[in-house]
Amino acid sequence: MNTKINIIIADDHDLFRCGLKKILTGFDFVNKIYEAEDGIDVLSILEKENNFIDVIFLDIRMPNLNGFETVKKLRKFNTKVKVIILTMVMQENVMAQMLKEDINGFLLKNSSKEQLRETLERVVETGHCFTEDMIRVMHQAYVNKKYVKESKSYIKLSGREQEILELICKEKTAQEIADKLCISPRTVEVHKKNLMEKTQTKNTVGLVLYSIRNGIIQFV
């Protein structure tokens, strides 16, 4: 990545924060890192540095204000910052909650350094990063309708829109989609904008979740 980014690490375990910070400091595209012990600290940092924070690594289980409660509050005044949820296990109820909230990515705490870097880069470049396994669990949560509300009626998409949406769900950048379909990146962005208008979503994460709810992502 050419752009330097600023990050908040929010976790109530000091050793985990220090370890994650040490790894992130070694990435050449990371500029400044802030630390927070809970959601209240996150909101306090955002009040002072709102326009300069690009990504938040957010633990789900924190005292005072947990991860999802924090997201609900921060989205009221900042819809652009990217949020990556940190957790120990990939549970259906957690992934289902991500269907409801505006979450950009998900990272297991036992992930490798390479997985951390890939997740962070993908979230910054494409707006989201969900592995196939994660999407499968999210899809199952919707199928079970155990945690997730019914989606809106399916909207008919053109063949090209369907192709682009499927590639977005596979975490392809605008340039990668353009190269694959032999069109310009600008045309890809126009289609993406039209898709968001049609599906009434705000970003790429919304498009991915729309695809899950409407069976556009296929599983074997």
Q: Are 87 and 109 in contact (CB under 8 A)?
A: yes
Per-domain residue ranges of the chain = 5-143, 154-213
Q: Rounded distance, CA 63 to CA 40, Å?
A: 9
Q: Rounded distance, CA 214 to CA 216, Å?
A: 6
The continuous run of DSSP H or E covering 102 comes out as: none
Q: Does 5-143 match 154-213 in CATH topology? A: no
State the chain's maximal CA–CA distance in angstroms: 51
User: pTM here?
Assistant: 0.75
- The CATH superfamily holding the domain 5-143 is Response regulator (3.40.50.2300)
Q: For 154-213, CATH number?
A: 1.10.10.10
CA distance readout (Å), 40 to 10, 58, 66 = 10, 12, 9
Q: pLDDT truncated to tens, each residue of the chain (220 aa)?
A: 778 999 999 999 999 999 999 999 999 999 999 999 999 999 999 988 877 999 999 998 898 898 889 998 988 888 789 999 998 877 767 776 766 777 888 888 999 999 999 999 989 988 888 777 777 777 676 666 654 455 555 678 888 998 999 888 887 888 999 999 999 999 999 999 999 998 888 777 778 778 877 777 665 4
